[in-house]
Amino acid sequence: MKKSVISESQIVAAIKAQESGKKVADICRELGVQLATFYNWKKKYAGMENQELLRLKELEEENGRLKHMYAELALDNKILKDVLSKKF
In the chain, what are the domain boundaries? Answer: 1-48, 58-88
Neighbours of 69 (CB within 10 A): 10
Q: Which residues contact 8 (CB under 8 A, 6 or more apart)?
A: 45, 53, 57
pLDDT exceeds cutoff 80 at 2: no
> ∠ at Cα 26 (8, 57), nearest 5°?
10
Distance separating alpha carbons of residues 14 and 60, to the nearest angstrom: 22
The stretch 7-14 carries a mean pLDDT of 87
The stretch 26-44 carries a mean pLDDT of 93
What pTM does this model have? 0.59
Do 37 and 1 meet the contact criterion of CB atoms below 8 Å apart? Answer: no
pLDDT exceeds cutoff 60 at 54: yes
CA distances, 84 to each of 44, 75, 77, 80 (Å): 46, 14, 11, 6
